[in-house]
Structure 1
Amino acid sequence: MKKNNALLAAVTFSIIIGLSFMFVKISLTYEGQLLILAQRFIFAFLGLLLFLVIKPIHLRLNRKEIMIVIIISLFYPIIFFSSQILGLDQTTVYEAGIIQAIAPATTVLLASVFLKEQVRIVQGLGIVFSIAGVVFLQLMNSSGGYDFHLLGNLLIIVSILATAIWQVMSRSATKSIAPIQITIYIMFIGFLFFNVIYFINGGSAGEYIDSLTEIPYLLSILFLGVLSTFGTSLLSIYAVSKLPVIQVSVFNNVATLITILSGVLILNEPFHYYHIIGAAVIIFGVILVNAKKKSRHSKVS
């Protein structure tokens, strides 16, 4: 039962993450990056407070546990959300979605190093294919006369690395700290960090409030704050606490598909033939990474 709940959590957070790229892109048409991040986390924090009213949680941690949570927070939410929004401001949703497909391979690689989860030869080949697909996309963009989104795509890769490190560290941390406790603390740290940065950089309370009168922007921020920030943090940490990191990472494929479709079908972003080739190479690599190991008892022909 717990395994099924963890699988459901993994599917749910992947769908939400897939849609979040589109909502970030929509919000960027209304406001700047710092304001979006500050408001995203104030709504995530409000969602967290509501959750705590409904289900009170014991929050006390010892000094060592607090240091672990602070380190996790550095990668997620601080590095992850900063690099993601900066990247999406410099690239398209579908390119970000395609690059997102390397997340499982990245997670597998880090899990093998830090959690000692075994990486087989076929998985190593999958990692190579995934990276090759991203390189191919960048080369085609630069040589085909289309917009070259090198900086934006590099920032998306940074966000993917931050996600992988966060999942690996969370898998280890949940052995001694409850997933909900980690979620609460990283949400609070994100709320403080991004709001303080916004006001230090000259942000005003008037702009903070007035921007929320635009309904499309408000709906985007609500989705990004409550579901995509607080919701996915809780669901993801819960999933990796019950399942191997490598198994959870495969659900990034769902997020990738939804991100690409939302960019092309809803935002009407241009789509070229080489994106299909690049996506196919990346997805083939992802399939290799997540290929099941043959049983020792299987017959050899």
Structure 2
Amino acid sequence: MISFRKMLGASLYATMSISLWGISFVSTKAVLDKLDPFTLLVIRFGIGALFLLVLILVKKEHSMKLPIQYIPHLIVLGILGVFLHQVIQASALLSIDASSAGWLITLSPIFTVVLSMVFLHEKMTFPKAIGIILAISGVLLVTTAGGDRSLGFSINIGYLLMVLSTLNWAIYSVLLKSLKVPLPALVLTFYMSTLGLLLTLPFIYQNKSWEKLTLLDGVEWAHLIFLGVFVSGIAYWYWAKALEVLEATQVSVFLYLEPVSTLIAAVLLLHEKVIYTSILGGAIIILGVIFVNGHLVGLINRWSARR
């Protein structure tokens, strides 16, 4: 049985990760006016990998060697959780608000449960069915509330990309927990960030995008440093540490907090308008996710009773 202290520590790690990722939508949106998604990601992954390497040296991590049979695992995790996930999100933010992206990311726990039903043969229950219907209704509200009003009720491709990124993240979280790569969370995060850098480098070379870096001002460089150090570095590291203790479905519940940090940061830093229909849709999504993950309440109650 997991001790209360370990569960509390893992919960704090997950909360800090989610808070940083929530703000990351705002920082990404702030830089995309000057840089294309691939250039942004090269700089972000480069800063993140360098920061993590320094941290590894400071902490004197000696478990850097990866058994050869786990190399395919690392490549899959790096492609899904770092390269593909960040490319999809950055591309989505070219055409949607940061706050809308924050609301849609809360769909990830829904996909986590659906994947569990498909691959782990969990049963569909009435509360889960209600939750899925509520979540879909909330998504429709969010996607029709923001963006260009001239589009009417048509769906912006950015919203579809964000929904796709939540599915991708659910797959990544499940795989990160189940593959059990025998590396410390910090070292694993460093390897994945380095892999993300290597995968995006060809795009910046092909487009000669480094020339655009001279257009950035001090504030935009601050956003890039934040994305590299705190988002690509610390947030991914803390998420992996949380998954060392908690199940993927338990950790995914913390995604409920992400739109709150995104909304606050978007209003303060980007001066985005608060769209109350979007907030209502986000609240409905979260309510649906709570229904779908209702079995977690039972787990918590049983754990409390044992104590």
TM-score higher than 0.5 here?
A: yes
**2:26/2:262 contact within 8 Å kept:** yes
Q: Is it true that 1:92 corresponds to 2:134 in the alignment?
A: no
Query: Secondary structure of 2:82's partner?
Result: helix
**1:38/1:194 contact within 8 Å kept:** yes
RMSD: 2.5
Aligned to 1:64: 69
Q: Is it true that 1:237 corresponds to 2:240 in the alignment?
A: yes
- The within-5 A match list for 1:4-153 is 4-55=8-59, 56-114=61-119, 120-139=125-144, 145=150, 150-153=156-159
Mean alpha-carbon deviation: is it higher for 274-283 or for 21-30? Answer: 274-283
**2:267/2:273 contact within 8 Å kept:** yes
Report how far residue 140 of structure 1 moved: 5.4
Give the 3 Å change call, closer, same or farther, for CA 81–26 of structure 1 in structure 2: same
Report how far residue 250 of structure 1 moved: 1.0
Find the aligned partners of 1:178 and 1:142 in 2 and give their Cα distance: 42
CA deviation map 1:7-58 (0-9, x unaligned): 1101100110111111111111332222211110110011011112112232
Aligned to 1:165: 171
Q: TM-score, normalised by structure 1?
A: 0.88
Give the 3 Å change call, closer, same or farther, for CA 62–117 of structure 1 in structure 2: farther
**1:111/1:246 contact within 8 Å kept:** no
Aligned to 1:299: none
Gaps of 5+ in 1: 297-301
Q: 1:202 aligns with which of 204, 208, 226?
A: 208
Q: How many residues align?
A: 293
Mean alpha-carbon deviation: is it higher for 217-226 or for 107-116? Answer: 107-116
Aligned-partner residue type, residue 150 of structure 1: N
Find the aligned partners of 2:269 and 2:147 in 1 and give their Cα distance: 25
Find the aligned partners of 1:11 and 1:248 in 2 and give their Cα distance: 9
CA deviation map 1:111-148 (0-9, x unaligned): 44345667643234212311221123335569964676
Give the 3 Å change call, closer, same or farther, for CA 231–70 of structure 1 in structure 2: same
Query: Secondary structure of 1:66's partner?
Result: helix
Mean alpha-carbon deviation: is it higher for 286-295 or for 218-227? Answer: 286-295
Q: 1:267 aligns with which of 267, 270, 276?
A: 270
CA deviation map 1:160-183 (0-9, x unaligned): 112111110000122644433421
Aligned to 2:305: none
Find the aligned partners of 1:175 and 1:42 in 2 and give their Cα distance: 23
Aligned-partner residue type, residue 47 of structure 2: F
Gaps of 5+ in 2: 303-307
Aligned to 2:185: 179
Mean alpha-carbon deviation: is it higher for 135-144 or for 93-102? Answer: 135-144
Find the aligned partners of 2:175 and 2:122 in 1 and give their Cα distance: 13
Find the aligned partners of 1:115 and 1:60 in 2 and give their Cα distance: 32
Mean alpha-carbon deviation: is it higher for 243-252 or for 285-294? Answer: 285-294
Q: Is it true that 1:288 corresponds to 2:288 in the alignment?
A: no
Report how far residue 192 of structure 1 moved: 1.1
Aligned to 1:226: 229
Mean alpha-carbon deviation: is it higher for 45-54 or for 284-293? Answer: 284-293
CA deviation map 1:222-259 (0-9, x unaligned): 11011111111111111112101111111111111111
**2:63/2:183 contact within 8 Å kept:** no
Report how far residue 284 of structure 1 moved: 1.2
Aligned-partner residue type, residue 281 of structure 1: I
Runs of 4+, deviation exceeding 6 Å = none
Give the 3 Å change call, closer, same or farther, for CA 125–217 of structure 1 in structure 2: same
Aligned-partner residue type, residue 94 of structure 1: S
**1:25/1:93 contact within 8 Å kept:** yes
Identity %: 27
**1:44/1:226 contact within 8 Å kept:** yes
